[in-house]
Amino acid sequence: MARAEIVVDLGAIRDNVAALRARVDRSLMAVVKADGYGHGLVPSARAALDGGADMLGVAVLEEALALRAAGITAPVLAWLAVPGEELTDAVRKDVDISVNAPWAVTELRAAARAAGRPAAVHLKVDSGLSRGGATMEDWPQLVAAVLAGATAGELRPAAVWSHFAYADAPGHPTVAHQRKLFTEAADWAETQGLTGVIRHLANSAATLTSPEAWLDLVRPGVACYGLDPHGGDPAEYGLRPAMTVRAQVALVKRVPAGSGVSYGHEYTTTRPTGLALVPIGYAEGIPRNATNVGPVQVAGQRRRISGRVCMDQFVVDVGDDAVHPGDEVVLWGPGTAGEPTAQDWADAVGTIHYELVTRVGGRLTRRYVG
């Protein structure tokens, strides 16, 4: 057993994607950005494709190129670039590129000329998130710029798309409003000649709970990894978490009542007790504000971190449990054997499971099963 590791169940990713695809019965883009939400870019992408994903979605170009370098030939969309980024290689390697503004269209056309082939382009409209995408006001200029590129044979319009602000609150009025604005934008673009393109809008939450948003293709990320974006039980949707974070106990010792534990003595023992040392810390992405609250399972028992999370380690008061060096500590996993889940951690430290699974890493090794 490794000192401390992330175990990724690729069978879970495959099965989750298959369950999502069966649920919507239309095309599915599995989002594998941020190193597959911390599960490993290429293995997660392969597992998603095995589960029936039709396309892969990433944020930045390097992620798309890493998929191509690994020999993955499935359609890939990359949606976040800054002026002057090297797009030619991505166009040459058949990566679809999203554009938010006319300057990005100009750059993509130049890349297509350099690559000697048209670039597949997804036009992003801001339907209310106020993040990426052209505002409704700027949308006509973006559509015109892409149509000009298509007429010149440099662009191949592939999709119109947008992203929700509030899909994890099903029934929130912005969901229907964004869907309406998105449809208006896409319909208007069609009247201008932007035809034969698909429409995509649904992230995990909408894939699970807003069928009206499924359109031609859904774009789930976190659900592919078995996490419920609403913070509920993923099993309700036939999903199971793919990530387990675990370690071995590095040291066990008895201490008297009144012993201050870890930096700043933010935890003090109230009785003679056993302390177990766990070799994972904030350098591995464990939030320092898990101090005294992070849930763990030590040798099969649910416990809490005792005292401050340090850079490389933390301590758990294990009472009189028979805990030994080398025993297993699970920080989070699927939750099926009594261990905490990433959602339990999110609740304990005041964040979302997305952040926890994508930030965990550092010196942890990753092991793939399933």
Ligand X SMILES: Cc1ncc(COP(=O)(O)O)c(C=O)c1O
Q: Cα-Cα-Cα-Cα dihedral of 16, 20, 21, 24, to 10°? A: 170
Query: Which of 163, 199, 230, 308 contacts ligand X by CB under 6 A?
Result: 163
d(CA 178, CA 162): 9
3-state helix, strand, coil split of the chain in percent (to 5) is 35, 25, 40
Q: Which of 23, 41, 22 is nearest to 31 (CA)?
A: 41
Query: Which of 40, 149, 229, 234 contacts ligand X by CB under 6 A?
Result: 229
Q: Using CB under 6 A, which of the segments 81-89, 175-183, 200-208, 359-367 binds ligand X?
A: 200-208
**Catalytic residue of the set 33, 37, 124, 267:** 33
State the binding string over 52-81 for ligand X (x if CB under 6 A, else -). ---------------------------x--
Q: Sort 117 into a burial class: Cβ within 10 Å, 0-12 / 13-18 / 19+.
A: middle
Q: Which of 53, 153, 162, 51 is nearest to 100 (CA)?
A: 162
- Select 77 or 155, whichever has its Cβ closest to ligand X: 77
Structure tokens at 29: 């883009």
- Select 125 or 222, whichever has its Cβ closest to ligand X: 222
Give how many residues touch ligand X by CB under 6 A: 12
Structure tokens at 282: 């904030």
Interaction of residue 203 with ligand X, rule CB under 6 A: yes
Structure tokens at 346: 């999110």
33 flagged as catalytic: yes
237 flagged as catalytic: no
Interaction of residue 40 with ligand X, rule CB under 6 A: no
Residues contacting 253, CB < 8 A, separation 6+ = 274, 275
Interaction of residue 204 with ligand X, rule CB under 6 A: yes
Query: Which of 4, 8, 12, 31 contacts ligand X by CB under 6 A?
Result: 31
Interaction of residue 125 with ligand X, rule CB under 6 A: no
- Select 115 or 167, whichever has its Cβ closest to ligand X: 167
Interaction of residue 38 with ligand X, rule CB under 6 A: no
d(CA 354, CA 370): 22
Interaction of residue 23 with ligand X, rule CB under 6 A: no
Q: Using CB under 6 A, which of the segments 18-26, 171-179, 201-209, 297-305 binds ligand X?
A: 201-209
- Select 205 or 316, whichever has its Cβ closest to ligand X: 205
Interaction of residue 220 with ligand X, rule CB under 6 A: yes
- Select 229 or 287, whichever has its Cβ closest to ligand X: 229
Distances (CA, A) of 64 to 67, 74, 233: 5, 11, 31
Distance of CA 48 to the CA centre of its chain: 13
Provide the annotated active-site residues: 33, 263
* Residues at the contact surface with ligand X, assessed by CB under 6 A: 31, 79, 163, 203-205, 219-223, 229
